[in-house]
Structures are given as structure tokens and as C-alpha cells.
Amino acid sequence: MNNIIKIENLKRSYANIVAVNGVSYSVGKGEMFGLVGPDGAGKTTTIRMLIGLLNPDSGIAEVLGYNIRTQKNKIKNEIGYLSQKFSLYGDLTVDENIEFFADIHGVKNYKARRNELLEFTRLTPFRDRLADKLSGGMKQKLALACTLIHKPKIIFLDEPTTGVDPVSRRDFWKILSNLLKEEITIFMTTPYLDEAERCNKIALMNKGNIISWDTPKNIKASLSGQIVEIVCYPSRTAYNIIKANTSYEVQMYGDRLNVTIQNYNEQFKELEKLLVDNNVDLHDHRVIPPSLENVFIHLISKAS
């Protein structure tokens, strides 16, 4: 697969704060790539450097073979960008918003493309509605249609489903999956690890650093040991007991604990005895496959 985005040792700081700390990775043509991490990880700064809105302090990056420092204008003509706060015009209709963005990009015969995008995003029945009167999910779909009007080769999406209801999130992901069939490369940021599972490749980012970069399957397989999910009460007490008395990594999700051990047959009985001896009520337990969240927390704790 040809790499359509190449990043090598890219770095950007704001005063004393290092937002992006010498990251390196690549994105293949036609991939859905996810840059995944919490707020403040450096995701938005990375996207803004790649599309030419920010200059890196150091490092090299190419988008479609163009240098992000010296060939910004050539990049801008070939990409679409949906920011966290995409600016739709509330006093314009759905049709008029798309027409406006077609004019910005110099798209002359846009009407057939607009009709195609409205069908694609299921917004055709709402084409005469003012943007201000749309739901949050419909606004995101309209913003995506505006981003696609000039047929970009890559679209950059910065946390596109944040604040969107679950049904609209699902619809949005169906649309993104269909875009891959048109060989459009998608570079998106998200704080949601369940969304990252849908990507071809992901980079896990924390405090400006890339802590893992691979397919979701390979990243999950990189976690050594077995994860035992324990349903118990009181779960907070059990969590503290395991932290204080063992070297096991433990994560808490409500009334459930995820404990990473190396050998279930040998070690779980000892763990069970420790909890029961400390008056913890064990309701159930099972060995589960690792999730991206398990791996992400493991990598952060290992780095700290």
C-alpha cells in the first residue's frame, strides 16, 4: 500500500508545553487511520500541521507527496478538513451551505455532486431547511457533505462524532465506511477507543507521544498475559487490595475489575483467596480478550 501521508520526527510546542513530541508514522492510500487519545494528547495540533494551518518546529511531513512547509497550497486543493467546530452558516439552507463551499473551492458544476452527497448523507428531505434548525448529527453530516463537495483525495476529521448522539454516530460511521469504497483516505482523531476499532490502522497518542502504532488487532495482541474480569463488591475495596498486595495491573470499570495476570490456572486461585480473606464478595469472573482500553491504560502506566 502506497503511503499517502508520511510523518517523521514531527514536533510542535506552545511556549513551555510540548504538544507533539517528535512523532513518526505513515498512512496508506485508501486507509481509515485513527489518531486516538484523550484531550490534550496532541491530536488536533497534529492535524493542523498536516493541513498547513500550523508550522512544525522541526521534523518532516508529506501529504500526497507534497511538503507541508513549502507546498501548502498544493495540499489544500486536494484535501478536505472537518474541524471540531466546523462553521456552518445557520441562516443558510442545507443546499445553500453546500453551494457556498463549492464556490470557495472553485467547483463550477456542483449541482449533480450536491445531489449525490445529499443522497449519500440522507439529507435530501432536509435540503431546504436552515442549518440552525438541524439536529447535531445532521449538522455533522452536512459539514461532511461540504467537506466532500470538491472530491478531495484525503479528508481530515477532527473528533467528528464528539457530542453526537449514538444513532447519529452509527450513521456517520456508515457514511465513512462507504467513503473508503471511493478510495478516499480518511485521517481522523477520536477520544473514543470503540471507534478506533473500526480503523484500518491507529496510533495511540498521549502527552504528545505516539505510544503504539499498528492495526487495532495487533495492538491488542501486544498485551502479554491474560485479563480476568472480576465482578465483585465492594469493587473499590477490591481494587485497593489488589494494588496494595500484588504486582498485578488492575483497572476498574464500575463493579468490574480487569486484572492482568500471566497464568490464570496458577495465579487466579491466590488472587481469589486474597479478596475473599479481605471480605470482598465475588459474584463472577471470566477470562476476556484484551480491549484497546486495556492496552492504552497499560502503556500509559508503563510509561509513567
Categorize the per-residue pLDDT at 1 as very low, low, confident or very high, splitting at 50, 70 and 90: low
In the chain, DSSP assigns E strands to 3-14, 17-28, 32-36, 58-63, 66-67, 79-82, 154-158, 185-190, 201-206, 209-214, 226-233, 249-253, 256-261, 281-288
Q: What is the mean pLDDT of the chain?
A: 92
Residue carrying C-alpha cell 456542483: 110
End-to-end CA, the chain: 35
- CATH 2.60.120 for domain 223-303, yes or no, is no
Q: What per-residue confidence (pLDDT) applies to 157? A: 94
Tens digits of residue pLDDT in 217-248: 999 999 988 999 999 999 999 999 999 999 99
The hierarchical CATH code for the domain 3-213 is 3.40.50.300
**Which pLDDT score is estimated for 85?**
78
Distance CA 83, CA 78 (A): 16
> What pLDDT band is residue 304 in, cutting at 50, 70 and 90?
low
The reply to whether 3-213 and 223-303 are identical in fold is: no
**Residue 124 gets which letter from DSSP?**
G
Q: Does residue 189 contact residue 196 with C-beta atoms inside 8 Å?
A: no
Predicted confidence band at 264 (pLDDT cuts at 50, 70, 90)?
A: very high
Q: For residue range 75-124, what is the model confidence (pLDDT) as tens digits?
A: 988 999 998 877 789 999 999 999 999 998 889 889 999 999 999 899 99
Residue 137 confidence class, pLDDT cut points 50, 70, 90? confident
Give me the mean pLDDT over the 259-277 stretch. 94
**What is the reported pLDDT for 68?**
95
3-state secondary structure of 62: strand
Domain edges within the chain: 3-213, 223-303
Is 4 within 8 Å of 28 (Cβ atoms)? yes
Please state, in angstroms and rounded to a whole number, the distance separating the CA atoms of residues 107 and 183.
20
